[in-house]
Amino acid sequence: MKKVFSLLLVCAVLFTAVGCGIAKEKGNTEVPPVSEMSPKINSSTVIDDENLPLENHQLIFKGEEGGNTPTGLMPLSKISFKASANTNGLPEEKLSHSHGPASDGKVHHTVVEFQKTFQKYGGFTYDDISEEKVIYLTFDCGYEYNDLTGKILDVLNGKKVPATFFCTLDYLKSEPEFVARMINEGHIVGNHSATHPSFASISREKMAEELETFENYLRENFGYASRYFRFPAGEYTESALELLQSLGFVSVFWSTAYDDWDTNKVRGKDYAIEKVMSRIHDGSVILLHAVSQDNADALGEIIDKIRAEGYEFRALTQYGT
């Protein structure tokens, strides 16, 4: 009875706290201070490890302050994800996310078509809801290269821009200082799976294992977790989309990107600026790779130019608000 009452109470808080952040971590007595960059991700949610699907702005979990983790947060308890069977017979064939570049600030029609599928399962590839000119900045982090993530974080901090970093388990283990900075400086650390397999080639049980392994490492070692997920290599199935949704995850794709993942391709910051600026549009979800020297060198100017065109940088927690 107590557990049912707790769930009802949490649901009441989630529905009434419109735009006010996230419910507190069990045991907290005060709401933490508001972040200048991402006002909606500084307080915490825990629901006694129940897999209760949450709204976009209740997808961040944080422990109490005063822990001995790199973030200074108390570890969160481990969780368990259980994969349901594909009882609806959803397609299992491999799909790959792709997009045509925007032109004249207008989203490409291929992105519009992908959006229709993703939204059926609580995901998105761009923001077609907000009436304002908004941009979402995201990075994929599989490994560290020349300490470029530190340079990127310095720029973001100086410009007061929130971002999401989709990391693998190897990255969490090898770069705890950068991960702690991401969290403590108001960014989101998203789940990019434990071992970066194609989610179009593994079972639903293995998908759940990949998600669980990654999240539990974050929970135990950083006192943090989020339910934002990016499919490795953008490969997925409709069945995989449904499973992610059933486990309370938001699948985040992208609508603006270029071939920036190859560390051997250093073409200068002007190249990066031109590629990004020519492809942005209202509601863009920008994908950049943190291993690109060009991206690190160009980021400050890219941010300034995007703002000069009247865009507002938002955190993923603000999608749809």
Active-site residue among 281, 289, 294, 297?
289
Q: Is 127 a catalytic residue?
A: no
Give the chain's end-to-end CA distance (angstroms, integer).
Answer: 34
> Which residue has tokens 């108390």?
74
Quote the CA–CA distance of 206 and 267 in Å, as a whole number: 39
Task: State the burial class of residue 106 (Cβ atoms within 10 Å of its Cβ: 0-12, 13-18, 19+).
Answer: exposed
Task: Find the catalytic residue in 57, 99, 140, 260.
Answer: 140
Which residues lie below 8 Å from residue 244, measured CB to CB, with a gap of 6+?
A: 121, 122, 123, 207, 211, 229, 250, 251
Residue 139 exposure: Cα atoms within 13 Å on the Cβ side: 29
Give residues with Cβ within 8 angstroms of 216, minimum separation 6. 78, 79
Question: Helices 293-308 and 269-277: crossing angle, nearest 10°?
Answer: 40
Q: Which residue has the tokens 């434990």?
A: 194
For the question of residue 140 being annotated catalytic, the response is: yes
Rounded to the nearest 10 degrees, the angle between the axes of helix 238-246 and helix 109-120 is: 50
Assign 3-state DSSP to the chain and report helix, strand, coil percentages, each to 5: 35, 15, 50
Catalytic (active-site) positions: 140, 289
